[in-house]
Amino acid sequence: MTEDAAVGSLKGTVAVVTGGASAHGIGRATARLLVARGAHVVVGDVQDDAGQALEAELGHNLIYRHLDVSSEADWASLMDAVIDRFGNVTALVSCAGIALDGTIESTPMTDHDRVIAIDQIGVWLGIRAVAPSMRSAGGGSIVNISSVAGAVGQPCLGAYSAAKWAVRGITRQAASELADSGIRVNTVLPGFIDTMMGGQGADQRESLRLNKGHSGATVPMGRIGEPEEVARLVAFLVSDESSYCTGADFVIDGGLLAGPLAEAADWG
């Protein structure tokens, strides 16, 4: 048995992970870890080629389905596929998200609406979609990925910050509504993580690599985090080891919120 499989076993868990196809994302790292710990995983994303490649790699314990998280019809289709293949859902990890630069004044309405639709409405639709299945299963765990931008205002990330604040509110409301059904709902707030959003390519990733030193210097722990570190926190919240945790924020930022966050001008 591998270390990942031995710690916090998730055997019998049926998990939906949104935004899990991105090559360097928190969602992909989470999907891999949940499978390693024994879960059946359905990855929903709009990056079909990457998602299908992940399905081919991880075999019968993971399937990929196209999912625009802002589409209620896509959620209904995905839930049909999950239940048909694995049975009722017992975990949802909402990782799908995008970040577009812009202040409140400078952001075009179309960009604002796109960010809100994916980062905020997508989380809300996900909870609505999985709750009946979780209730039928006798309970479950929902983990919504927010951000440290959902804890303090971020220059030039007006729509993104607003959406990530909203995710925390949605989480608390859902936790209060679903607790008597045995469904726990929590939020994870990552800080600087070596990942990318919105389909960024090699040039952007190289820019992040070159700026790691500067970004890490703003973090008390002196480095940025890795997607796998966030995935381990998510796996804890999915598992029964967090059985008394609901409606809570879990910050994973290397001490960023305790330190000079205002100096992190290149954060995005």
The answer to whether 49 and 23 are in contact (CB under 8 A) is no
Q: Which two tokens stand for residue 152?
A: 């303090």
64 an active-site residue? Answer: no
Q: Which two tokens stand for residue 43?
A: 């990855």
Between CA 219 and CA 21 the distance in angstroms is: 28
Q: Quote the distance between the C-alpha of residue 149 and its chain's center.
A: 14
Dihedral sign computed on CA atoms, order 209, 193, 117, 92 = positive
Q: Which two tokens stand for residue 23?
A: 């090559």
Between CA 28 and CA 37 the distance in angstroms is: 14
Catalytic residue among 75, 124, 160, 267: 160
Q: Which two tokens stand for residue 35?
A: 């499978």
Q: Which helix (DSSP H) or strand (DSSP E) does residue 130 occupy? A: helix 122-137
Between CA 40 and CA 83 the distance in angstroms is: 11
Catalytic residue annotation: 160
